[in-house]
Amino acid sequence: MSLDTATGLNSLGLPKPPAETRVVVAMSGGVDSSVVAAMLAEEGYDVVGVTLQLYDHGAALAKKGACCAGRDIHDARRVAEARGFPHYVLDYENTFREAVIDEFAESYLAGATPVPCIRCNERVKFRDLLETAKDLEADCMATGHYIRREAGPAGPELHMAADGARDQSYFLFSTTREQLEYLRFPLGGLASKDETRALAARYGLPVADKPDSQDICFVPNGDYAAVIEKLRPGAAEPGEIVHADGRVLGEHPGVIHFTIGQRRGLGIGGLSEPLYVVKLDVERRRVIVGPKEMLATRRVPVREVNWLGDGAFAGAEAREISVRVRSTRPPSEAILRPLSETEAEVELLSPEEGVSPGQACVFYETGGTRVLGGGWIWRGR
């Protein structure tokens, strides 16, 4: 593949032939990043595959449904060998523990519901790995994420993936403008995951039928509490389950076993009304429960804002946008009120249930696909 005659750019938007363009591909060992690497190699780019060893893969070899384990490193290497490009494995265990796992544990112990995959993208893949790509003299770094990078009048913009079911914009809101200049997401425009698997089959990749990863990589079977107890022995102290009206309804084995909005597994059956976890009082080791309507929230305090919209964030007028307060929910209309360079208040036009500290609040252009940034939900002052 050669340069576009009209623009003088290659398919990655760079002004030189593919053969002279070095691309580091972040390879997790799954089908998505493997297809990206094979696609770019076939187009004639100078591809270098890099896989991060993020945690003790010896303990994770038998674990299915997670990325970056020992088996995945092996799969990434096989793809690189089959397609004829170099592949490196970087030991990022210490970095990953310090930047992601430790904060996950502390956040959970504080009664929040963290999203470690966002921190991993922000602090490991798009920071340290990106710097490694530059050290390798790469012109850009490509990943298998389902999100689009589009040219805008003020520079590259972040947009939701063409396939709404695969869109990963919630997990990438903290990507900075500077990082966006360097990153590429070749799968963002595909209509479905079926297209990705068809490409994998066409390239003859050994991972073409490999299942998608489901769990957080260091949380086997989604059992957060078991991981926290292993990381912080003795953290699960028992306490009381208390109704919002003050009645003590029972005991619990530890606040870390509960999340905001939880209904099942409370251990307080036989009551006339269904009850939900509405608050976690970590200091008093209390799980507060109440009726579903108590979960409805309009005001969402947000901090550590990363702004990708036009103009400065701080000092701007309140603006109408759409937001996602959970990765599994569609964007809903809201009003964004900046309070400083990094803090804001979001007012949801329709109350949402289960808005939890530790989750992300991601900003979108109402009626469009552009990602305007986002921040982290906290309890406020």
Q: How far is it, in rounded angstroms, from Cα 51 to Cα 59?
A: 18
Which residues, at least 6 apart from 330, have a Cβ–Cβ distance to it below 8 Å?
324
**The residue count for the chain:** 381
Q: How far is it, in rounded angstroms, from Cα 56 to Cα 315?
A: 46
Q: Any known ligand binding at 52?
A: yes
337: part of which helix (H) or strand (E)?
strand 332-338
The torsion angle over the Cα atoms of residues 112, 118, 122 and 123, rounded to 10 degrees, is 60
Distance, C-alpha 292 to centroid of its chain: 28
Q: How far is it, in rounded angstroms, from Cα 33 to Cα 26?
A: 7
Which residue among 67, 140, 217, 361 is the active-site one? Answer: 217
120 has catalytic annotation: yes
In b/e form, how buried is each residue of 63-86, taking b as 16+ CB within 10 angstroms? beebbbbbbbbebbbbbbebbebe
String of DSSP letters for 24-45: EEE--SSHHHHHHHHHHHHTT-
Q: Any known ligand binding at 28?
A: yes
Q: How many helices (H) and strands (E) does the chain have?
A: 10, 17
Q: Any known ligand binding at 236?
A: no
374: part of which helix (H) or strand (E)?
strand 370-377
Which residue among 67, 68, 117, 120 is the active-site one? Answer: 120
**What is the gyration radius of the CA atoms in the chain, in angstroms?**
22
Q: How far is it, in rounded angstroms, from Cα 105 to Cα 199?
A: 39
Q: Any known ligand binding at 144?
A: yes
CB 127 within 8 A of CB 150: no
Return binding residues.
26-33, 52, 144
Return binding residues for ATP.
26-33, 52, 144
Catalytic residues: 120, 217
